Amino acid sequence: MNRKTIKELKEIVGAGHLVTAREDLMCYSYDGTGMEYMPSAVVFPGSASEVCRIMEIAGRERFPVIPRGAGTGMTGGALAVEGGLVMAMSRLDRILEIDAENQVAVVEPGVITGRFQETVRRQGLFYPPDPASQAFCTMGGNVAECSGGPSAVKYGVTRDYVLGLEVVLPSGKLIRTGVRTAKGVVGYDLTRLFIGSEGTLGIVTKIIVRLLALPTSTRTYLVLTDSLRQATELVAEILKSGILPKTLEYMDQTALQVVNEHLPLSLPENTRALLLVEVDGDRGSTEEQGSRLLALLADRKTYPGILATRQAAGESEAAELWKARRSISPATFRLRPHKISEDVVVPKTAIPTLVAFTEKLARELDLVILTFGHAGDGNIHVNIMADRGDAAEWQRAGKAKKLLFEQVIALSGTLSGEHGIGITKAPYLSLEIEEESLELMRKIKRVFDPDNILNPGKIFTTAQEKP
Amino acid sequence: MNRKTIKELKEIVGAGHLVTAREDLMCYSYDGTGMEYMPSAVVFPGSASEVCRIMEIAGRERFPVIPRGAGTGMTGGALAVEGGLVMAMSRLDRILEIDAENQVAVVEPGVITGRFQETVRRQGLFYPPDPASQAFCTMGGNVAECSGGPSAVKYGVTRDYVLGLEVVLPSGKLIRTGVRTAKGVVGYDLTRLFIGSEGTLGIVTKIIVRLLALPTSTRTYLVLTDSLRQATELVAEILKSGILPKTLEYMDQTALQVVNEHLPLSLPENTRALLLVEVDGDRGSTEEQGSRLLALLADRKTYPGILATRQAAGESEAAELWKARRSISPATFRLRPHKISEDVVVPKTAIPTLVAFTEKLARELDLVILTFGHAGDGNIHVNIMADRGDAAEWQRAGKAKKLLFEQVIALSGTLSGEHGIGITKAPYLSLEIEEESLELMRKIKRVFDPDNILNPGKIFTTAQEKP
């Protein structure tokens, strides 16, 4: 990007909305992975038509454009791995419409997910996708990664709520996909092709989502066990009993330790795992589900590992428990300065096997590995802690990651439930996806982006992690 | 297709599994539209590898292949509009696996949807998509069209239940897409690209679906009104009250007349519409939803058009009501020998406007038009009845269809909620989808099927309806 191009871009967005100073670029050089790649410039478009004009210039000059939400991604999707122009969507942050009668909303990509949820909640409406980073992450980033969170076990992920999109193609042309109605099957499903494409096919400039009525009742339950196996085995049992919890999360002992100060309860000394079960719906339903859950858990003969079971004492305790749950990921850095964080998914019945495997890996490779996450849908967060400065340890961590992925595939699982591939998983993509499918995907990429200017180096390449 | 090709195909599937006699071809020349196109041959593959080998020959000889389920489609997706080989998937009819613990099943495309639902129900499991043709239609056809049914208002459509697919590409290569876990975001979403692609991108040979626990309680309610507007206005009111019914269907007066003999009740003379509301869940929830519904409907001051409200007397009456509902479409032929059947969708609050518009169309164009369907999600079945032999009437029916589509788009709706585009809506596709998006779709088609041998003439062309 030469000086003339920078000038041209500034003319589009206004001089104040493009930065090139090193200290400014720094802020947009990293993401949730902790890796860093410096872009040449960062632009802050103020409208879809500005995005179109920027893409026209990028196409002419052939520089990479990397769309960026809040940079909370866990696989490097927002990193400028080949340099170029980071396009920060933070100015496109308007909630354009909340149509309460039809339970539909239209937002710009820079809207913070948590803010959107709070806004619709005040109108008695509910937008379920709830990534742990919801206080910071954006709706556009959620679409790019098809984000999910604890409530996915009952409510699904971003894909299940997006009805339609407005997207600027790499060519600079703007299209609208999908519908704003509950159903729609007209033409190929471009909407869901964009969702989870990690910003490689187009830049989302508008998102139409469906909303639900806000459930009127929620109950949160805590289960402590003296073994991780007991906790993970309970997951399938709870779901089999006909309860469909809003969330069914677990934390292993190490996860509990790192968030100990946030926990609103003191744990018995032999606690090895905690299950967090939330049921929601109308009052009749949460009452029935709650009783059914307590009845199941009362059977200590079948489940001898249960140490304690109780309902959270009111909303405030439930809120504290959730705060603790969401703080695990950042809090892990107390253990080791870096980590490899994976969000693998296995069938629910395979969770105990997977978790036992990670414990074995930790022992055999002399690593700290903690697991926690969305047990209800088999989406387990495996955090392999290590110090990048310690070459031997970092190498063992990399080995653990590869062995983990192989085990996940052997268990009929998938490498990513919500974080995507980005660059950190790209070298492992072929473990899961056969060459013929990859070739189709690469051809689809070329249909949308023949010159490979949009977020190049993601998903399909084997860009190495920097040490 | 010359004799040598036929011989070669017979060697693949066995002589008994390929037919060319006119009387045999006849059975595979039509579908739910009533239109007819004779294929050159019909083949019945017995395995995915046979499908692969057939596609290799089709690619070499460049003849069209038209995958076909039960032929219940409403837009001509299974018709051999350019001749060629119909590939009937009826022999691939095995339920390969029901993994009750993980709530996942694997089926072949020829499995009849209703049979599958019944089979999983016996294990306490629930597969929600319920097209009216569920007693005949197949899982493969449902994937091709992204079928839905009455329960979509609460449970969504086929897209929301398919986790992964095995697909034979037009090249004859076999790929696997998606996952068999609750979540998965690895690579582009090929699974949902195939879903709803109407058999134009690949031939599905295996389907992995997620299942739910079977709800333990269901309650069905009937509401009779003295005006269609009152009935359609109630739809948004019911949903706004926080009730999320499993189904929220309506029938207008003409629909009620054609199914009168199936109705388990006699209607007051001034009945103009019927609403059928079903709530499901656990007992606590259906009790609460039921009371809330009855309380809402008891307010005759706000809703003066309500003539009667009552709960269906047990399962048998509910079953009879549903039988009546499902028999509307075939029963309409009592009114006129042919029809144009559309499944447009509008925002829920626009239903009264749309229905009033169809009444106006019927008056002004001197046609019988009846409307019924999935009011809860705005998916209205508009049946324009006419006699193809009466050129003037048939022309007026065509005019009504075009005006209907224009009105639907003006109301922010979509041309199809579950039937797809096929050939009957292809001429109107550009009313909804802009050229830039259509061009992307055509390019995607070329990625998958560069020689256009798989189900050619569908979605993107403007093949005319035969008179």
Q: Which has the closest alpha carbon to B196: A179, A105, A212, A208?
A: A179
Q: Domain B335-420: which CATH class? A: alpha beta
Residue A190 has pLDDT above 60, yes or no: yes
Instruction: Return the CATH architecture of domain B95-213.
Output: 2-Layer Sandwich (3.30)
- Distance between CA atoms of B86 and A96, rounded to whole angstroms? 48
B84: left (phi > 0), else alpha (psi -120 to 50), else beta?
left
- What HEC string does chain B produce? CCHHHHHHHHHHHCHHHEECCHHHHHCCCECCCCCECCCCEEECCCCHHHHHHHHHHHHHHCCCEEEECCCCCCCCCCCCECECEEEECCCCCCEEEEECCCCEEEECCCCEHHHHHHHHHCCCEECCCCCCCCCCCEHHHHHHHCCCCCCHHHHCCHHHCEEEEEEECCCCCEEEEECCCCCCCCCCCHHHHHCCCCCCCCEEEEEEEECEECCCEEEEEEEEECCHHHHHHHHHHHHHCCCCCCEEEEEEHHHHHHCHHHCCCCCCCCCCEEEEEEEEECHHHHHHHHHHHHHHHCCCCCCCCEEEEEECCHHHHHHHHHHHHHCHHHHHHHCCCEEEEEEEECCHHHHHHHHHHHHHHHHHHCCEEEEEEEHHHCEEEEEEEECCCCHHHHHHHHHHHHHHHHHHHHCCCECCCCCCCCCCCHHHHHHHCCHHHHHHHHHHHHHHCCCCCECCCCCCCCCCCCC
* Residue B467, pLDDT score: 33
pLDDT the model gives residue B340: 93
Q: Are A102 and B156 an interchain contact pair (Cβ–Cβ within 8 Å)?
A: no
**Residue B437 C-alpha, separation from nearest chain A C-alpha, in angstroms:** 6
Which residue in chain A has the smallest CA separation from B241?
A213
∠ CA(A321), CA(A324), CA(A326), 5° rounding? 110
| Residues listed for chain A | 467
pLDDT at A300 over 70: yes
Q: Which fold has domain B215-332?
A: Alpha-Beta Plaits (3.30.70)
Partner-chain contact A181 B349, CB within 8 Å: no
Report which residue type is found at A455.
N
pLDDT bin (cut points 50, 70, 90) of residue A463 is: very low
Check whether A14 has a pLDDT greater than 50. yes
Residue of A nearest to B287 (CA): A284
Residues of B in contact with A242 (CB under 8 A): 124, 213, 216, 282
**In what order do the strands lie in the sheet containing A368-374?**
A306-311, A217-225, A273-281, A247-252, A368-374, A379-386, A338-345
Distance CA A384, CA A339 (A): 5
Domain boundaries, chain B: 3-88, 95-213, 215-332, 335-420
Could you give phi then psi for residue A342, rounded to 5 degrees?
Answer: -120, 150
For the beta carbon of residue A27, count every other beta carbon within 10 angstroms. Answer: 12
Interface of B with A in 258-287 (CB under 8 A): 281-285, 287
Chain B nearest CA to A372, separation (Å): 16
Selected from 3.40.30.10, 3.30.43.10, 3.30.420.40, 3.40.720.10, the CATH number assigned to the domain covering B3-88 reads 3.30.43.10
CA distance B197 to chain A (A): 6
Confidence of residue A465 (pLDDT cuts 50, 70, 90): very low
For residue B52, give how far its alpha carbon lies from the nearest alpha carbon of chain A (Å): 14
Given CB atoms, is A447 within the 8 Å cutoff of chain B? Answer: yes
Instruction: Please identify among residues 379-418 of chain B the ones whose CB lies closer than 8 Å to any CB of chain A.
Output: 379, 412-418
Percentage of chain A exceeding pLDDT 70: 99
Same fold, B215-332 and B335-420: yes
Average pLDDT, rounded, for chain A:
95
Round to whole Å and give the CA distance between A376 and A381.
12
Write down the pLDDT at residue A34. 87
Distance of CA A56 to the CA centre of its chain: 30
B466 contacts chain A (CB < 8 A) = no
Partners of B160 on chain A (C-beta within 8 Å) are 156, 160
Spatial neighbors of B142 by CB under 8 A, at least 6 apart, are: B69, B113, B129, B131, B158
Q: How many alpha carbons lie under 13 Å from residue A446 in its C-beta half-sphere?
A: 8
* Cα–Cα distance measured from residue A284 to residue A358, given in angstroms and rounded to the nearest whole number: 40
Rounded to the nearest 10°, the torsion over CA A329, A335, A341, A345 is -80
Which tokens hold the place of A360? 């074995």
Q: Residue A467: what pLDDT? A: 33
CB contact under 8 A, B175 and A440: yes
CB < 8 Å from B in window 167-196 of A: 169, 173-177, 179-190, 192-193, 195-196
pLDDT tens-digit map of A268-295: 999 999 999 999 998 988 999 999 999 9
Q: Tens digit of pLDDT per residue, chain B (467 long)?
A: 899 999 999 999 999 999 999 999 999 999 999 899 999 999 999 999 999 999 999 999 999 999 999 999 999 999 999 999 999 999 999 999 999 999 999 999 999 999 999 999 999 999 999 999 999 999 999 999 999 999 999 999 999 999 999 999 999 999 999 999 999 999 999 999 999 999 999 999 999 999 999 999 999 999 999 999 999 999 989 988 889 999 999 999 999 999 888 888 888 999 999 999 999 998 988 999 999 999 999 999 999 999 999 999 888 899 988 888 888 988 999 999 999 999 999 999 999 999 999 999 999 999 999 999 999 999 999 999 999 999 999 999 999 999 999 999 999 999 999 999 999 999 999 999 999 999 999 999 999 999 999 999 999 974 444 33
Q: Are A254 and A335 in contact (CB under 8 A)?
A: yes
C-beta atoms surrounding A363 within 10 Å: 10
In tens, the pLDDT along B260-269 reads 888 888 889 9
Average of pLDDT values for A228-236?
Answer: 92
Write the residue in B99, B188, B345 that is nearest to A184 by C-beta: B345
Q: Which of B181, B430, B455 to mutate to probe the A interface, most A CBs <10 Å?
A: B181
Distance CA B92, CA B205 (A): 8
